[in-house]
C-alpha cells in the first residue's frame, strides 16, 4: 500500500471525515486486522500511534506511513493528547496499556467497533463464516478493484495483487471479513454479505454450536431488508441462522435447490471449472482460480456478491480466474531438491482436511509431510478427536508445541501436543511430537526425499520451519 501523510486540519473529525485530525492509539497494532485498520485511518487523516509485543516488517511499514510505534505494552505509551484508543481481541483486560487508557478518560473501543465505524460510511460487504473468509473477501476486493470500482477493503491476510491486507478507495464499497470471535461481527453493518459455513470454533468464548448459530442469527438479522446475504445452501447450521432474517437470502452450492449453483464441474490437477447458474438461468462459465472444492464454494459466494455489487457476468468470468490467492493459503514457497514446500494457515480440522485434499489433487506428491502447529490449547482440547481424524490424507504429521494465545495457564495444563499425537496414532496416522522448530528442521533433513510435499500448517509462526527447510534444501542439494 502507498504511504499517505498524516493530515491535521484545524477542525478535527469534521462531518465529511470523522477521522481527520484525530489522535488514535492502537494497542496490539501488529495484528493483521489492526495494522490494516491503522493504515486506513492514516489515509483518512488520523494521527496514529500504537504498540505491540514484538517488532517486525509490518510495523516498520506502518512507521514509514507515519505511525509512531512502541515495542512492549506500558501505560506510558499512551499519548497525552489521545482522542481514541483501539485495542485488539488479543489484548487482555489486565493489560497495563489498556488500563491506562481506561483511566485516562478518553474513549476506548474494540477493533471490531472501530471497523464498524469505518465501514458505515460505505456500502458494506461483510464476509462471515467459520472458514474461507480471507480468501473470499480478497477475491471480491480484487475483482471490484480490477473492474474499476476502487473499493476500500480490509482482509485478514495479505493479497499481493491488492498491495497488502487493506486499501482505501474512492469507490462506494467497503469489503471486510466479519469474524465471529467474541461476536465481533455484530459491530459491522453491511448491505451485502455472506455466511460461508458454520461450525464449532472459538469455544473459549462460545458455550457450544447452538450459541455460535445464535450469533450468526444476530449477524443476519442486522442486514437491512433491501440487503442480500449469499449463504451456504448445503449447511444446516447456516439454514437455521438465517431462517428469520428479513433481508434477501440467496443460497449457493452445488445442489439443485441453490439460487447460485455450480454445475458440470471438472477438475485438472486440482483446478476446477464449472458452469454457474443464477435462479436456474446460465450466468457464466467460471475457472476457479485456486485449487480444491472448498475454493469452488468460496468462488460461488464471491460471484453472488459481485453480481449484487454491479459486476457483469462477463467481467466476473474474465477477472476472477486471474486472482492469485492470499498469503499463507496453500502458498507454494519453493520447489527445491525435488521437494515442494507449501505453507498454509489452516488451524481447524475442516480446514486441515480440505487443504490436504486440495494439495494431493494439485501436486500428486509421493508423500505429504505435514508440520502442524496447533493454535490455542482450548481449541485443541475441544476439537481433539476431530483434529486427529483430519490428518488422514497426510503420510506423516510432525507436531511442535501448541501456539499459546489468549488461553489461561489452567487451559494450558489441560492439553499438550503429545496428546494430539497420541490421538492421531490411535486413528491410524503416523505422527511424532517434536517440541522445537530447530529440532523439527533437523528431523526433516533426514526424512525428506524427492517427490515429497512438505506443508507447514497453522495460525502461528510455523512458517519459519518452511523457510529454514527451503534454505537447507537450497544449500545442501545445490539447487
**pLDDT recorded at residue 31:** 84
**pLDDT recorded at residue 164:** 85
Residues 261 and 371 in one domain: no
Domain count, the chain: 3
Q: Average pLDDT of 137-165?
A: 93
- Percentage of the chain beyond pLDDT 70 is 96
Rounded Cα gap, residues 212 and 141, in angstroms: 27
pLDDT digits (tens, 9 = 90+) for 289-333: 999 999 999 999 999 999 999 999 999 999 999 999 988 899 999
Residues 281 and 316 in one domain: yes
Residues 312 and 212 in one domain: yes
The alpha-helical segments, DSSP class H, found in 169-247 are: 209-221, 236-241
Query: Is residue 264 a part of any domain in this protein?
Result: yes
Residue that terminates a domain, selected from 109, 143, 164:
109
Of the candidates 224, 225, 229, 245, which has an alpha carbon nearest to the alpha carbon of residue 194? 229
Instruction: List the Cα angle 458/303/253 in 5-degree steps.
Output: 75
- DSSP letter for each residue of 321-369: GG----TTSSEEEEEETTEEEEEE---SHHHHHHHHHHHHHHH--SEEE
Residues 245 and 391 in one domain: no
Decide if pLDDT at 136 tops 50: yes
Query: Is residue 151 a part of any domain in this protein?
Result: yes
Rounded Cα gap, residues 13 and 96, in angstroms: 28
Query: Is residue 2 a part of any domain in this protein?
Result: no
The neighbour count for residue 306, using CB atoms within 10 Å, is 25
**pLDDT recorded at residue 363:** 94
Query: Is residue 116 a part of any domain in this protein?
Result: no
**pLDDT recorded at residue 168:** 83
- The CATH number of the domain where 367 resides is what? 3.90.190.20
Q: Give how far Cα 28 sits from Cα of 49, 59, 155, 303, Å.
A: 11, 11, 17, 34
Q: Average pLDDT of 374-384?
A: 91
Tallying the residues shown for the chain, one arrives at 479
Residue that terminates a domain, selected from 304, 322, 340:
322
Residues 338 and 317 in one domain: no
Residues 195 and 258 in one domain: yes
Residue that terminates a domain, selected from 109, 138, 171:
109
Backbone angles phi, psi at 356, to 5 degrees: -65, -40
- Residue range of the domain that includes 34: 23-109
Query: Is residue 5 a part of any domain in this protein?
Result: no
Residues 145 and 69 in one domain: no
Residues 126 and 260 in one domain: yes
More reliable by pLDDT, 469 or 6: 469
CB under 8 Å to 318, separation ≥6 — which residues? none
Residues 315 and 195 in one domain: yes
pLDDT band at 14 (very low <50, low <70, confident <90, very high): low
Query: Is residue 276 a part of any domain in this protein?
Result: yes
- Percentage of the chain beyond pLDDT 90 is 77
Question: What mean pLDDT value characterizes the chain?
Answer: 91
**pLDDT recorded at residue 49:** 96
Q: Is the CA virtual torsion 431, 434, 439, 441 positive or negative? A: positive
Cα dihedral value 242, 244, 250, 253, nearest 10: 40
- The CATH number of the domain where 49 resides is what? 3.40.50.720
pTM: 0.86
**pLDDT recorded at residue 450:** 95
Residues 427 and 350 in one domain: yes
Rounded Cα gap, residues 52 and 326, in angstroms: 24
Residues 139 and 97 in one domain: no
Query: Is residue 448 a part of any domain in this protein?
Result: yes
Residues 104 and 135 in one domain: no
Decide if pLDDT at 7 tops 50: no
Look-up: residue for cell 491486507? Answer: 165
Q: Are 424 and 391 in contact (CB under 8 A)?
A: yes
Decide if pLDDT at 440 tops 80: yes
**pLDDT recorded at residue 6:** 32
**pLDDT recorded at residue 5:** 32
Decide if pLDDT at 12 tops 70: no
pLDDT digits (tens, 9 = 90+) for 67-114: 999 999 999 999 989 999 999 988 988 999 999 999 998 999 999 999
Query: Is residue 6 a part of any domain in this protein?
Result: no
Amino acid at each position: 500500500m502507498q504511504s499517505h501523510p498524516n493530515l491535521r486540519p484545524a477542525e478535527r473529525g469534521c462531518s465529511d471525515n470523522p477521522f481527520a485530525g484525530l489522535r488514535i492509539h492502537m494497542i496490539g497494532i501488529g495484528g493483521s486486522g489492526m495494522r490494516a485498520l491503522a493504515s486506513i485511518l492514516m489515509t483518512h487523516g488520523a494521527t496514529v500511534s500504537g504498540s505491540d509485543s514484538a517488532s517486525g516488517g509490518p510495523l516498520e511499514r506502518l512507521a514509514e506511513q507515519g505511525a509512531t510505534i512502541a515495542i512492549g505494552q506500558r501505560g506510558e505509551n499512551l499519548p497525552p493528547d489521545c482522542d481514541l484508543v483501539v485495542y485488539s481481541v488479543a489484548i487482555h483486560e489486565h493489560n497495563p496499556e489498556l488500563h491506562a487508557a481506561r483511566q485516562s478518560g478518553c474513549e476506548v473501543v474494540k477493533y471490531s467497533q472501530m471497523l464498524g465505524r469505518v465501514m458505515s460510511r460505505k456500502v458494506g460487504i461483510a464476509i462471515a463464516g467459520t472458514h474461507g473468509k480471507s480468501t473470499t473477501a480478497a477475491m471480491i476486493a480484487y475483482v471490484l478493484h480490477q473492474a474499476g470500482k476502487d473499493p476500500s477493503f480490509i482482509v485478514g491476510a495479505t493479497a499481493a495483487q491488492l498491495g497488502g491486507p487493506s486499501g482505501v478507495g474512492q469507490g462506494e464499497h467497503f469489503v471486510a471479513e466479519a469474524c465471529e470471535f467474541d461476536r465481533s461481527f455484530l459491530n459491522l453493518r453491511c448491505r451485502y454479505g455472506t455466511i460461508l459455513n458454520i461450525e464449532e470454533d472459538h469455544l473459549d468464548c462460545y458455550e457450544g454450536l447452538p450459541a455460535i448459530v445464535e450469533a450468526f442469527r444476530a449477524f443476519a438479522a442486522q442486514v437491512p431488508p433491501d440487503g442480500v446475504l449469499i449463504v451456504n445452501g448445503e449447511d444446516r447450521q447456516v439454514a437455521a441462522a438465517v431462517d428469520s432474517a428479513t433481508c434477501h437470502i440467496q443460497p449457493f452450492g452445488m445442489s439443485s435447490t441453490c439460487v447460485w449453483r455450480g454445475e458440470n464441474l471438472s477438475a485438472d490437477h486440482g483446478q476446477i471449472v464449472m458452469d454457474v447458474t443464477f435462479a436456474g438461468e446460465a450466468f457464466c462459465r467460471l475457472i476457479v482460480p485456486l485449487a480444491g472444492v472448498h475454493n469452488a464454494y468460496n468462488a460461488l459466494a464471491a460471484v453472488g456478491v459481485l453480481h449484487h455489487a454491479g459486476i457483469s457476468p462477463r467481467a466476473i468470468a474474465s477477472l476472477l480466474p486471474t486472482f492469485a490467492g492470499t498469503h499463507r493459503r496453500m502458498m507454494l514457497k519453493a520447489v527445491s531438491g525435488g521437494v515442494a514446500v507449501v505453507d498454509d494457515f489452516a488451524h481447524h480440522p475442516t480446514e486441515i482436511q480440505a487443504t490436504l485434499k486440495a494439495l494431493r489433487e494439485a501436486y500428486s506428491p509421493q508423500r505429504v509431510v505435514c508440520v502442524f502447529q496447533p493454535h490455542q490449547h482450548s481449541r485443541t482440547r475441544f476439537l481433539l478427536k476431530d483434529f486427529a481424524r483430519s490428518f488422514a490424507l497426510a503420510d506423516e504429521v510432525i507436531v511442535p508445541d501448541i501456539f499459546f494465545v489468549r488461553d489461561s495457564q489452567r487451559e494450558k495444563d489441560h492439553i499438550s501436543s503429545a496428546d494430539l499425537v497420541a490421538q492421531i496414532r490411535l486413528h491410524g496416522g503416523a505422527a511424532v511430537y517434536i517440541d522445537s522448530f530447530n529440532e523439527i528442521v533437523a528431523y526433516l533433513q533426514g526424512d525428506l526425499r524427492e517427490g515429497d510435499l512438505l506443508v507447514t500448517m497453522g495460525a502461528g509462526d510455523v512458517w519459519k520451519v518452511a523457510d529454514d527447510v527451503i534454505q537447507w534444501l537450497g544449500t545442501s542439494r545445490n539447487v
